[in-house]
Structure 1
Amino acid sequence: MPVRADAPLGAPTWIDLSTSDMDRAQRFYGAVFGWTFAGAGPDYGGYVIASRDGRPVAGLMPKHPDYDGPDGWITYLHTADIDATLAAATEAGGTACGGVMDIPAKGRMALLTDPAAGFLGLWQPGGHRGFELFGEHGAPAYHQLTTRDYGAALDFYRRVFGWECETVSDTDEFRYATAMFDGDALVGVMDGGQYLGEDAPSDWTVFLGSDDVDKTIELIVDHGGAVVRPAEDTPYGRLAAVADPTGAGFNLTSLPG
């Protein structure tokens, strides 16, 4: 079981779902991935921690009634000094969505957008280290930013988070780089100029691991979810894009045998 104590600095360390239907989300993810759920406590606004095999993998929170955006997953990057990181992000062209929030006994968080409107979070761990299962069935396995401004995005994440990026492809048809952490490619950055809609912002996507992508897709559909892009074999495994019953999208990836 791939268990980790901490994510590398600058790498994804936590994911949570902002959902309009907490009960339905828990039924769905419980049925599809075997997640179990526990409330964070009365002081945490209905926040729920999802676990697999006794290890935290994700959070779920009720969507704020004043927020009219779609349900969706948020990726949080690990920082040791959230105030300094948020300041660096705004200096580099990002936009803070409010200030830093202290989460009692858990850590500190902030939300922001990068210069191409990619929405993401920052997490400075306290008592909560982030997802402890990684690269396992039903756990985060990879993250991808599909961006409207590829060059500006790479410059931003290198400058603010110290990413070391390797170019995978640099053609007009497919422009892609990976951010490397201790030799592992944990994040991909794709030039989405020809994929994103005219008014669509850049998009962070989480890939959840699956022992059998096709079987997981069947479970997703059986429990009210949808297939956004059918499963296909790629040089990086069998991949698919899906959505939960209220439209929150995520991807599936097969796991190394």
Structure 2
Amino acid sequence: MRPQEQINYIELPAADLAATKQFYTGVFGWVFADYGPDYIAFANSGLDGGFYRSTLTSKVAAGAALVVLYSKDLAGCEKRIVQAGGNIVKPVFSFPGGRRFHFTDPHGNELAVWSEQ
């Protein structure tokens, strides 16, 4: 039974679904399933979700929610993101409880990664 009234799924835009799959699989190990030409679902991410074909992007400055991922190795994760074509848009900074940075994926969606260290 699924928990009631809790966040269950998240969807993000992406113009190039093949490149999106390659980025998130390579950097984070997510697993994808294709649902037609305009939608891919992901799993093995902590919270399941999907990407729908769109030229729009999800950015905090535009009012979008920020998806925050966790990594035990913040520096290693940052390096993998950059090597895979992502951009660091907010360098590592401290906050109560840990440190984090923000990045954009190759499509331009903004996400963050945090760690206790």
Same fold (TM > 0.5): yes
Structure 1 segments, 4+ long, off by >4 Å, are: none
Which residue in the other structure is 1:37 paired with?
Answer: 32
Q: How does 1:60-75 map to 2 (within 5 A)?
A: 60-63=51-54, 70-72=56-58
Question: How far apart in 1 are the matches of 2:57 and 2:107?
Answer: 7
Aligned partner (choices 105, 109, 115) of residue 248 of structure 1: 109
Partner of 1:216: 77
Q: Which residue of 2 aligns with 1:28?
A: 23
The percent identity for this pair of structures is 26
Q: Map residues 89-168 of structure 1 onto 2, 5 A cutoff.
A: none
Q: Shift of residue 56 of structure 1? A: 5.8
Alignment partner of 1:19 is 2:10: no
Cα distance in 1, alignment partners of residues 107 and 63 from structure 2: 21
Q: Which has the higher helix share?
A: 2
Question: Which blocks of at least 5 consecutive residues in structure 1 are unaligned?
Answer: 74-145, 147-195
Q: Would you say the 8 A contact 1:205–1:250 is kept in 2?
A: yes
Computing the radius of gyration from Cα coordinates, the structure with the larger value is 1
Q: Residue type matched to 1:60 in 2?
A: F
Matched length:
117
Q: How far did 1:244 drift?
A: 0.3
Distance in 1 of aligned mates of 2:96 and 2:81: 24
Residues 59 and 210 (structure 1), Cα distance of their counterparts in 2 relative to 1, 3 Å cut: same
Secondary structure of the structure 2 residue equivalent to 1:219: helix
Post-superposition offset of 1:38: 0.9
Q: Residue 41 of structure 2 corresponds to which residue in structure 1?
A: 49
Kindly state the Cα deviation for residue 208 of structure 1 after the two structures are TM-superposed: 1.3
Tell me how far apart the structure 2 counterparts of residues 248 and 223 of structure 1 sit (CA, whole Å): 14
Q: CA deviation at 1:71?
A: 2.2
Greater strand share, structure number: 1
Query: Is the Cα–Cα contact under 8 Å of residues 50 and 58 in structure 1 kept in the other structure?
Result: yes
| Paired residue secondary structure (2:8) | strand
Bigger relative CO (Cα 8 Å, ≥ 6 apart): 2
